[in-house]
Amino acid sequence: MSEVRCLNCLKRFEVQSNAKEATCPNCKTKYRISWPTPTQAKIRGPA
Amino acid sequence: MVWNRKIAYINLSTRKIIRKPVPKTMRQLYLGGRGIDMYLLYNHVKPKIDPLSPENVLFIGAGLLGGIPCLGAGRCDVAAKSPVTGGVGDSNVGGFFGAELRFAGFDHLVVTGKSKKTVYIWVQDGEIEVRDAADLWGKDTVETQTAIRQNHGDEDIKSLVIGVAGENLVRFANVRTGMKNSGGRTGMGCVMGSKNLKAVAARGTMNLEFAKPEKLLDYCKEMNDMIISTRWARAQSRWGTMIIFSNTNTTGLIRTKNFQLNLLEDGQDLEPENIDRYSIGTAGCYGCVVHCRHRYVLKDGPYAPFFDEGPEYTSLGAFGTMVNVKKLETVLAANHLVNKYGLDTLETGGLIAWAMELYEKGIINDKMTGGLKLNWGNEEALFELIHQIAMREGFGNVLANGFRDAIAKIGKGSGYYAIQVKGMSNLHSDERPTPSFALGIATATRGSDHLRSRPAVDMYGLPEEFLQELYGGPVSSDYTSYDGKSRMIWWQERLYAVTDSIGICKFQTVFCAVHAPKWNEFSKLIQLATGMKFSKSQLMQIGERIYTLERMFNLREGFTRKDDKLPERYFKEPTPLGLPIAKGKKIDRKKFEIMLDEYYALHGWSKNGVPTKKALVKLGLDKEPTHMI
Amino acid sequence: MQKILFIDPEKCTGCRICETACSMHHEKVCNPARARIHIAKWETAGLYIPVVCLHCETPICETVCPVRAIKRNEKTGAVIIDYNLCVGCRLCVLYCPFAGAGIDPLTGKVLKCDLCDGDPVCVRFCEPKALQYVKATRANTMKMRKAAEKFSELMQKLLAP
């Protein structure tokens, strides 16, 4: 698990380990995810 | 002691060299690096001179903390009157040159006059020589460094060099050291070229002595741990500054097709993760644990084979989004080419993107471009135009003089499409959704500039109580708001001025990471290294002094409030794409002017942006120029 | 079991923090030219190799030292110069095939890594972990896993349909 900050509503949300995609539960924006370290997720681009 | 390195005055016309210690008063008022360079700039450059004349002066200054093993503390500041803007010329470069200059016994070099023959300056263990550079002239920026090392038989020599672009007096030619590090902005390479100065090479084995070496060493470790514990630094150490692209291109904050769109659709190939295809590992500057650049090899394809470092986020825009190129390989190859020529990647890309929009609009045609089809994404034309700019051939010769001259020459309303301030190109960032960033590029002393004040932490929507504490006053947590953003810019300006003066990397202070070293940590580092005590507010005042002196230099050159402006398009054209937070945004003219008023007031400047007598007295600037050094 | 200084050049980013920290620790000044460790760089090829005393099992420096000033510290495993005995003939510098010993440009004395009495400052500062001070078994395991990874990639390629 790791947190990312939604680029649209700026709220943090949790991403499942190794997930390739995630959706912000607050504003429903969908992102592709990548992992700079095994425990740190980051938004890669729009899904 | 570490603050007692020498300053050398080198007259290239007469070949006279004078060496003096840097007085402690200078350290107390301006620290070193950019701070002392700005004092020298204001004091040694006479008003209204031609930046390309022998009367212009080149300043090279290492930071006060240069050499310590943390926070990338090996940076070097290069200054002169800018051939791009006609105002403050100043560029801060990483790598290893700044530290080596100190080991060679010098903190500041003041280069005046103009040499008849092509030369380079050789600095070694307290000695300085001006040497013939006939065999270096015509070489690219990497070949030049290699040749200097071979000539002296020492692989550990570090040099600050210009490429062919600097020799040809391309206005935005840069100075370079190592494979990748560039003093990119404001045309310092052009000033070197105008003096027939190809390089400054340094090698030293002299001690840097500290007030409290053992405690300093432990604290350096603490500083490195502090920066690398931030999420930002960890991500950056993996993919470099390219990681910014993920956020900006997803949100809609990235100039595309010059300024027509605010994100690159189908731009997946430019995502930072793809550098892994070419990377053989990362590289760090002197004293840096973040190592934000890749060493990459392009093995196959039309541009292969070659080795280079980077690319910076800047190049992803300059030779990617802005010119509508969607292939990382092309960006890597263009990055390599401008590096070899010694061209500022940002200015080069900004001008080419502008030319492409003019071509699309029919403002320039095949006749003017000499047959170059400047269509969006035309790679062949992109590379040809880079060659032409560096060699000052064909249409490239029009662009080689920078935005001001090119707009005057092309006419026909072409200026409207130019995304520049004070004659200098903007980064490929689109500031329409972010008023704080917009104010920053409008007011920056060296033209459209993201490195004078950009408050990147504005993007995080941090709690307002936290922002109030950090910035010392009310700041809105909404990055699309105008409220309190002038305060943010004012605070960041002072922080970056101090950071550049102690020779630390901006990525290792509050740029993109909130919990990074700042005033109190800098204060402790300076004390352990030099024994000099500065409180947080004293450091902030030094930042204010440096920034105000830069302002005074620009005012003396004729700049006014009218020059603190944005390109008209920021007010007229709303952003067409992006996430809801960034879409349909433009800058509100009235709110922008209010923000500018607030910004001047915070500095203690008049409505016209002129420092008041009271403000000058408070900073001890009322008698400048004082010619202390 | 004794620890060894384990060098992984592939991880080195060339920042030279090790050199600076080494000189500050030993000489109380910042001067990479007086450090016991150096990064040899081939900048135009992107190659960075940390060069430091390897504390050999059969140290050539110990063999050639005419005054027997070089001995092993059994606790840390470091091959150390006893400066009370050293006459500064620099035979150790001349004969070491790994450039593990150098000359101080200011004093003329021989500079050689002493593993900082078992807590090497360069290792402490090396963020990318190109330098590690680990037990010999651990060093073996690390090398083994790295080799096996390459082998596993190869196997996967062979087994791929």
pLDDT tens column, B75-109: 999 999 999 999 999 999 999 999 999 999 999 99
Q: Looking at beta carbons, which residues of chain A come within 8 Å of B268? A: 45
CB contact under 8 A, B581 and A7: yes
C and B touch with 3+ CB pairs <8 Å, answer yes
Q: Is the dihedral of CA A37, A41, A46, A47 positive or negative?
A: positive
Q: What letter would DSSP give residue B23?
A: P
Q: How confident is the model at residue C138 (pLDDT cuts 50, 70, 90)?
A: confident
Supply the ipTM of this predicted assembly: 0.97
Q: How confident is the model at residue C144 (pLDDT cuts 50, 70, 90)?
A: confident
Pick the more confident residue, C18 or A1.
C18
CB contact under 8 A, B284 and C20: no
Q: What letter would DSSP give residue A30?
A: E
Domain boundaries, chain A: 2-46
* Substitution target from B237, B238, B249 for chain A, most A beta carbons within 10 A: B238
Q: How confident is the model at residue C155 (pLDDT cuts 50, 70, 90)?
A: confident
Q: DSSP of B336-395, one letter per residue? A: HHHHHHTB-HHHHHHHHHHHHHHHHHTSS-HHHHTT----TT-HHHHHHHHHHHHHT-TT
CB contact under 8 A, A44 and B249: no
The tally of CA atoms less than 13 A away on the side-chain side of residue B159 is 30
- B514-547, pLDDT tens digit by residue? 999 999 999 999 999 999 999 999 999 999 999 9
CB contact under 8 A, B246 and A8: no
* CATH number, domain B435-619: 1.10.599.10
Question: Rounded distance, CA B103 to CA B166, Å?
Answer: 27
* 3 state SS of B100: helix
Question: Rounded distance, CA B15 to CA B105, Å?
Answer: 20
Q: How many Cβ atoms sit within 10 Å of the Cβ of residue B114? A: 17
User: b/e for B456-484, b at 16 or more Cβ within 10 A?
Assistant: bbbbbbbeeeebeebbeeebbbebeebbb
Whether C124 has its CB under 8 Å from any CB of chain B: the answer is yes
**Alpha helix stretches (DSSP H) within B51-183:** 97-103, 141-152, 164-167
Q: How much of chain C exceeds pLDDT 90, in percent?
A: 79
Q: Spell out the residues 6+ positions from residue B38 whose beta carbon is closer than 8 angstroms to its own.
A: B30, B79, B88, B90, B546, B549, B550, B553
Question: Rounded distance, CA B86 to CA C35, Å?
Answer: 44
Angle of helix B485-502 relative to helix B536-556, nearest 10 degrees, comes to 100
One-letter amino acid of B276: D
Q: Spell out the residues 6+ positions from residue C141 whose beta carbon is closer than 8 angstroms to its own.
A: none
Q: DSSP of B125-145, one letter per residue? A: TTEEEEEE-TTTTT--HHHHH
Whether B204 has its CB under 8 Å from any CB of chain C: the answer is yes
B458 with B436: CB under 8 angstroms? yes
Query: Which element (helix H / strand E) includes B589?
Result: helix B589-603
CB contact under 8 A, A5 and B461: yes
Question: Rounded distance, CA B12 to CA C149, Å?
Answer: 58
Domains of chain C: 3-52+113-159 (3.30.70.20)
- C75-88, pLDDT tens digit by residue? 899 999 999 999 99
pLDDT of C39 over the 90 cut? yes
φ and ψ of B190, to 5 deg: -65, -40
Whether B147 has its CB under 8 Å from any CB of chain C: the answer is no
B189 with B82: CB under 8 angstroms? no
The pLDDT score that the predictor gives to residue B304 is 94
Residues of chain B with pLDDT under 50: none
Min distance B273 CA to chain A CA atoms (Å): 8
Q: Which fold has domain B2-203?
A: Aldehyde Ferredoxin Oxidoreductase;  A, domain 1 (3.60.9)
Report the residue from B231, B249, B580 with minimal CB separation from A8: B580
Helices vs. strands in chain A: H and E counts, helices first: 0, 5
Report the residue from B208, B228, B307 with minimal CB separation from C127: B228
B7 with B59: CB under 8 angstroms? no
Q: How confident is the model at residue C158 (pLDDT cuts 50, 70, 90)?
A: confident
* Substitution target from A2, A4, A6, A7 for chain B, most B beta carbons within 10 A: A7
The structure tokens listed for B501 are 């003066």
CB contact under 8 A, B284 and C13: yes
Residues of chain A with pLDDT under 50: none
Whether B307 has its CB under 8 Å from any CB of chain C: the answer is yes
Whether B271 has its CB under 8 Å from any CB of chain A: the answer is yes
C72 with C54: CB under 8 angstroms? no
Q: Looking at beta carbons, which residues of chain C come within 8 Å of B275? A: none
Q: How confident is the model at residue C145 (pLDDT cuts 50, 70, 90)?
A: confident
Pick the CATH number of B240-419 from 1.10.4160.10, 3.50.50.60, 1.20.1050.140, 1.10.569.10: 1.10.569.10
| Nearest Cα residue in chain C from B207 | C31
Beta bridge partners of B35: none
Whether C123 has its CB under 8 Å from any CB of chain B: the answer is no
| Nearest Cα residue in chain B from A9 | B581
pLDDT of C161 over the 70 cut? no
